[in-house]
Amino acid sequence: MMKFLEYLRVVKKRTEGTIKQYHSILREFQKFEPITQSSWNRYLDHISANKPKTQKNKLKVVKEYLNWKADHGLIESDRFWNEAEPPREQNLPKAIDMEEIQKIIDVCDNPYYKALFKLLANTGMRISEALNLTMNDISLNGVAKIRIRGKGNKERIISVNRTIVEEAIKAGVFNKKVSPRAVQIALKKYAKKAGINQKVTPHIFRHSFAVALIERGTPINKIQVLLGHSNIATTGIYLRVASDTIEIPQLI
């Protein structure tokens, strides 16, 4: 770490105030070295308690430090840390009731979109993930399984209701390719037809899936895996959304 700070001072001509700030952040980070995917996830979880602006600053410093080490052959890695994105100011994700999603599906008279909407609602997939699926990603040996390629080309495999997958196959969801914009337009059309007044997007299906699982008691770490989140703090925000629906009973 000290060699990196000296590099910043001599080569990069950073001010002493900046060096002091870097030193403080890296001293905290040193507890999570040597860096592995596991220790990196623990660090992300650790700093998730900070304000978004502080998290952004810490990630900037630590990424610069780790990239410097990798450049100088001090660590060997595929630089997975560069995939971590600083959080935005956390506006709570918007979700709708599953009953409202069911209404949209019920009024949909297009077999392709009906099957796609069911798939999204029951898996929490991002629209880009769903549209990139092919038959090679589907397994119907016993329980239906879907291999999903998420952000950073990370793969996850989820088990899905067989009927939903078979309906998607029959409707050509894994063969016919439409644009995300076309899905958004179709969803807007059928949401209006179902009498849903608020804005509905494919990503709101994802949020609604997560909230519905929380309300049914699914452990947050399992929801993290299903959604493909690298940081459990990202999944944790759905706890705040779900809490809005809890009516506290009289306890005494």
Count CB-CB contacts under 10 A for residue 95. 22
14 assigned to active site: no
Residues 187-239 have pLDDT tens digits of 999 999 999 988 999 999 989 998 888 888 888 888 888 888 878 877 777 76
CATH number of residue 160's parent domain? 1.10.443.10
The whole-number pLDDT of residue 220 equals 83
User: Which one from 58, 69, 103, 229 is the annotated catalytic residue?
Assistant: 229
Q: Is 206 an active-site residue?
A: yes
Q: Domain residues for 178? A: 98-243
pLDDT digits (tens, 9 = 90+) for 181-198: 999 999 999 999 999 988
Q: Where are the alpha helices (DSSP H) in the chain?
A: 2-10, 16-29, 37-47, 52-71, 98-107, 111-123, 127-131, 162-170, 180-193, 202-215, 220-227, 232-243
pTM: 0.60
Whether 63 is catalytic: no
Name which of 15-29, 32-46, 73-87 the model is least confident about. Answer: 73-87
| Catalytic residue (choose from 42, 72, 151, 170) | 151
Q: Is 203 a known active-site residue?
A: yes
Taken in order 153, 158, 163, 166, the sign of the CA dihedral is positive
What is the total count of domains within the chain?
Answer: 2
- The active-site residue out of 58, 69, 114, 206 is 206
Q: Can 189 be counted among the known catalytic residues? A: no
Q: Are residues 130 and 238 in the same domain?
A: yes
| Same domain membership, residue 186 and residue 235 | yes
| 214 and 120 both lie in a single domain | yes
Is 46 in the active site?
no
